[in-house]
Structure 1
Amino acid sequence: METLKIGDVVLVHAYKHNGAIYRSWDAAIVLELNSDYLVLVNEDVTVTELNGRKWKTNEPAIWIFNRKNWSNIICMFKETGLNYYCNIASPFIMEGKTIKYIDYDLDIKVFSDGAYKILDLKEFNRNRIMWKYSQDIINMIWSEVDNLKNQIKNKAFIFSHDRAEAFWDQYLEWKENNQK
Structure 2
Amino acid sequence: MYLPKEKEIIQIKSYKHNGKLHRTWKKTVVLKSTENIIIGGNDHTLVVEADGRKWVTREPSICYFHSDYWFNVISMIREDGIYHYCNLGTPFAVDEQALKYIDYDLDIKVFPDGRFHLLDEGEYEQHRRQMKYPDSIDRILKTNVDVLSHWILDKKGPFSPDYIDIWYEKYKEYR
TM-score tier by shorter-chain length is: over 0.9
Which range moves more in the overlay, 2-11 or 48-57?
A: 2-11
SS at structure 2 position matched to 1:6? coil
**TM score, norm. by length of structure 2:** 0.96
Matched, 1:109 2:109: yes
Matches within 5 A, 1:15-164: 15-164=15-164
The Cα of 1:2 is off from its aligned counterpart by: 4.1
Structure-1 separation of matches of 2:173 and 2:23: 30
1:178 matched residue in structure 2: none
Q: Aligned-pair distance for 1:33? A: 1.1
Q: Percent of pairs identical after alignment?
A: 37
The structure whose RCO (Cα within 8 Å, separation 6+) is larger is 2
Change in Cα spacing, 1:125 to 1:102, as seen in structure 2 (3 Å) is same
Q: Tell me the SS of whatever aligns to 2:4.
A: coil
C-alpha displacement of 1:36: 2.5
Which piece of structure 1 moves more, 140-149 or 157-166? 157-166
Give the 4+ runs in structure 1 shifted more than 4 A. none
Distance 1:88 1:74, change over 3 A: same
| C-alpha contact (below 8 Å) 1:42/1:60 kept by paired residues | yes
Offset at 1:9? 0.7
CA contact (8 A) 1:9 1:97 kept: no
What runs of 5+ residues in structure 2 fail to find an aligned partner? none
User: Which stretch of the first structure deviates more once superposed, 34-43 or 132-141?
Assistant: 34-43
Change (3 A) 1:173 1:69: same
Aligned-residue Cα RMSD (Å) equals 1.2
Counterparts of 2:172 and 2:24, CA distance in 1: 24
Aligned to 1:161, the other structure's residue is in SS state coil
TM-score normalized with structure 1 length: 0.93
Using the TM superposition, give the Cα deviation of residue 170 of structure 1 relative to its aligned residue in structure 2, in angstroms: 1.8
Structure 1 residue matching 2:162: 3-state secondary structure: helix
Q: In structure 2, what is the Cα distance between the partners aligned to 1:2 and 1:115?
A: 37
Amino acid at match of 1:118: L
Unaligned runs of 5+ in 1: 176-180
